[in-house]
């Protein structure tokens, strides 16, 4: 219910009628019977003020301007000490056992504020069982209403009191849970983009210390080979402590946490007989101590220790929160280790692939050289010898037609074999690549391979006057060779364009055709039949020199492949995309 010029009174407080009646100046607190005379001169009726007040769930006082209690209901009477009738005594004497009105540091009584403002006020007052208690034992909500006489003057205050300890406890629990969830969310957000193990451990330790207002702590990881624990990251600990504080599985507080998988809270670790290296603990001055396991699924990978120079510094609630954090940290550690192993395996794969491709190029050169120096020369000699035999036979007039036909056929086979050997040598290692460089070699290979099959080839080369590093030239020639082979075998294209553009930092090679194209998104791996092997081989080749490969294609709209190779710095891989995403 709201009165003009005042704050709203809680709608559930049934006592709002009482101040209203009193404020009308028609209730006199001189006895159990109070007479109320309606303004419209209706027939008077007798109402028991005590019965109305005793029906309230809240304790009720009526206090005059001089802090004297004028009225009290039965609920409030039961809550007061058993030292006689409180009516007529000072409220601060009855409620707080004081000689003067309440003020700091205890609390500031709101009665003066209500008298001055003329408006209701609500406060929550905390009470402790003794002066030494730090944490309040209970909470009381106090609501004060001004009571006015018929002239509108405030002559008393109605004070309602309700115990809200349970509500405060629930509110505190909700806030703690929110605090816990917020801390876990911060851990999750902080570790989601990190793969470096030390970075993850440092971030998680800082958050763990922050949420319990701690300054001393560290994370120990378990060495699975020798079953020992050592500090990996720490805060507020001496270098000597970190260096010498290592323990085996089951030894000390941290060792037991790893062995059992359960957190441990110690009020004073310096007095704990099971603590490892007590001399180091004493020197460091550690007292309050909490140790939680870092778990990845059901596997303990380490512990997080939080310490203090004050005994009993941490609570069960702190331990619960740290244990929840430990589960997330353990998972992050396991993921970081998996990433490290994957990165190591990828590095080994890249090294092996580089050796394989280098060995392949060396073998190609060796075979091409042997074909040129031996096989090709032998076939050339055989061709010339057969040509000479044919000439001699014709000069001597040998009439054996069958013999002559066989000799001519053998000569033709020798010529054809020689041409095939030359083509094979170009496939293995074109001499133009070594003699005239990459642009000429790519252009010649494209024309010789595609124009012979009726496919038009156009080429453009920019900034290619100088020679490039051998690994760049070989890589770009091989990927171009693979792309041209795919065009010939799969595309059904009529026109192909080749463009090579080089500057001081990179070379960009682009080969585009107007063939039938394909769906790039469906080509995610090499299938058992070998489909996709050529594309993935090109990608791996280009990555080995720090380059990137981008494929754009759609069914019926041709294919465009772009390779970028850095000449001075690394280039990040680009993601394949369909032409519709241009």
**Least confident interval from 278-282, 433-437, 508-512:** 433-437
pLDDT for 219 beyond 90: yes
Average pLDDT over residues 442-447: 88
**Least confident interval from 277-291, 362-376, 449-463, 465-479:** 362-376
Q: What is the pTM of this model?
A: 0.49
Q: Going by C-beta distance under 8 Å and a sequence separation of 6 or more, which residues neighbour residue 304?
A: 204, 205, 208, 217, 218, 219, 291, 292, 294, 322, 325, 326, 329
Residue 46 has a pLDDT of 56
Percent of the chain topping pLDDT 70: 83
Average pLDDT over residues 231-256: 92
What is the C-alpha to C-alpha distance for residues 422 and 347, in angstroms, rounded to an integer? 38
Rounded to the nearest 5 degrees, what angle is found at the Cα of 471, between the Cα atoms of 469 and 476? 100
What is the C-alpha to C-alpha distance for residues 111 and 94, in angstroms, rounded to an integer? 15
What is the C-alpha to C-alpha distance for residues 451 and 493, in angstroms, rounded to an integer? 11
Q: State the pLDDT confidence band at 220, using cuts at 50, 70 and 90.
A: very high
Q: Which of 180-184, 246-250, 423-427 has the highest mean pLDDT?
A: 246-250
State the number of CA atoms in the 13 A half-sphere of 254 facing the CB: 26
Residue 93 has a pLDDT of 87
pLDDT tens sequence across 514-531: 988 888 877 766 565 556
| Structure token digits, residue 281 | 């603990």
Average pLDDT over residues 214-228: 90
Residue 399 has a pLDDT of 79
| Structure token digits, residue 32 | 């159990």
Q: State the pLDDT confidence band at 304, using cuts at 50, 70 and 90.
A: very high
Residue 327 has a pLDDT of 83
Write 379-388 long-range contacts (CB < 8 A, 24+).
379/414, 379/417, 379/418, 379/421, 380/418, 382/414, 383/411, 383/414, 383/415, 383/418, 386/410, 386/411, 386/414, 387/411
Residue 284 has a pLDDT of 93
pLDDT top residue among 346 and 578: 346
Residue 568 has a pLDDT of 65
In order of their start, the domains of the chain are: 14-163 (3.30.450.20), 171-342 (3.30.450.40), 435-581 (3.30.565.10)
**Least confident interval from 84-98, 167-181, 307-321:** 167-181
Residue 9 has a pLDDT of 36
| Alpha helices by DSSP H, 193-270 | 197-211, 239-244, 252-260
Average pLDDT over residues 198-209: 88
H or E element at residue 400 = none
H or E element at residue 428 = helix 401-428
Q: Which of 24-33, 346-355, 366-375, 572-581 has the highest mean pLDDT?
A: 366-375
Residue 272 has a pLDDT of 92
What is the C-alpha to C-alpha distance for residues 121 and 13, in angstroms, rounded to an integer? 14
DSSP state for residue 57 in the 8-state scheme: S
Average pLDDT over residues 269-283: 93
Mean pLDDT over each residue of the chain, to the nearest integer: 80
Residue 216 has a pLDDT of 94
Average pLDDT over residues 50-73: 87
End-to-end Cα separation, the chain, in angstroms? 66
Average pLDDT over residues 130-141: 64
pLDDT for 290 beyond 80: yes
Q: State the pLDDT confidence band at 236, using cuts at 50, 70 and 90.
A: very high
Residue 296 has a pLDDT of 83
């Amino acid at each position: 219910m709201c009165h003009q010029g005042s704050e709203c009174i809680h709608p559930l407080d049934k006592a709002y009628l009482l101040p209203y009646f009193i404020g009308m100046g028609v209730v006199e607190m001189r006895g159990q019977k109070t007479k109320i005379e309606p303004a419209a001169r209706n027939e008077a009726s007798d109402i028991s003020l005590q019965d109305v007040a005793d029906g309230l769930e809240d304790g009720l006082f009526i206090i005059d301007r001089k802090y004297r209690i004028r009225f009290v209901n039965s609920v409030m009477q039961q809550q007061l000490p058993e030292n006689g009738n409180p009516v007529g005594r000072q409220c601060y004497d009855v409620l707080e056992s004081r000689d003067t009105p309440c003020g700091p540091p205890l609390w500031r009584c709101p009665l003066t504020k209500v008298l001055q403002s003329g408006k209701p006020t609500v406060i929550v007052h905390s009470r402790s069982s003794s002066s030494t208690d730090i944490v309040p034992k209970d909470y009381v909500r106090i609501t004060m209403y001004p009571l006015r006489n018929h002239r509108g003057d405030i002559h008393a205050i109605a004070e309602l009191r309700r115990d809200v300890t349970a509500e405060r406890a629930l509110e505190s629990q909700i806030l703690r849970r929110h605090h816990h969830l917020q801390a876990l969310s911060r851990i999750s957000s902080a570790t989601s983009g990190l793969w470096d193990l030390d970075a993850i451990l440092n971030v998680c330790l800082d958050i763990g210390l922050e949420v319990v207002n701690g300054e001393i702590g560290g994370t120990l990881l378990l060495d699975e080979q020798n079953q020992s624990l050592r500090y990996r990251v720490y805060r507020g600990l001496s270098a000597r402590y970190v260096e010498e504080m290592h323990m085996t599985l089951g030894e000390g507080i941290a060792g037991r946490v790893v062995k059992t998988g359960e957190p441990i809270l110690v009020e004073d670790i310096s007095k704990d007989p099971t603590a490892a290296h007590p001399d180091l603990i004493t020197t460091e001055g550690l007292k309050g101590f909490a140790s939680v396991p870092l778990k990845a699924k059901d596997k303990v990978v380490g512990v997080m220790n939080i310490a203090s120079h004050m005994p009993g510094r941490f609570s069960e609630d702190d331990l619960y929160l740290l244990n929840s954090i430990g589960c997330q940290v353990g998972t992050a550690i396991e993921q970081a280790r998996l990433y490290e192993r994957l990165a190591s395996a990828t590095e080994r794969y890249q090294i092996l692939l580089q050796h394989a491709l280098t060995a392949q190029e060396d073998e190609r050169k060796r075979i091409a050289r042997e074909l040129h120096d031996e096989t090709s020369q032998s076939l050339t000699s055989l061709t010339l010898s057969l040509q000479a035999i044919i000439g001699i036979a014709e000069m001597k007039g040998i009439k054996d037609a069958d013999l002559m036909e066989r000799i001519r056929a053998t000569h033709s086979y020798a010529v054809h074999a020689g041409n095939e050997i030359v083509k094979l040598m170009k496939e293995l290692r074109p001499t133009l690549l070594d003699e005239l460089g990459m642009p000429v070699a790519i252009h010649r290979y494209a024309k010789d391979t595609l124009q012979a099959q009726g496919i038009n080839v156009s080429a453009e080369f920019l900034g290619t006057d100088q020679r490039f590093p051998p690994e760049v030239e070989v890589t770009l020639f091989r990927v171009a060779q693979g792309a041209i082979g795919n065009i010939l075998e799969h595309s059904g294209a009529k026109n192909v364009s080749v463009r090579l553009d080089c500057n001081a930092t990179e070379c960009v090679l682009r080969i585009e055709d107007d063939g039938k194209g394909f769906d790039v998104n469906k080509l995610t791996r090499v299938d058992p039949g070998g489909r996709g092997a050529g594309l993935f081989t090109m990608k791996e080749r280009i990555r080995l020199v720090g380059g990137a490969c981008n494929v754009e294609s759609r069914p019926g709209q041709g294919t465009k492949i772009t390779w970028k190779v850095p000449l001075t710095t690394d280039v990040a891989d680009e993601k394949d995309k369909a032409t519709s995403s241009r």
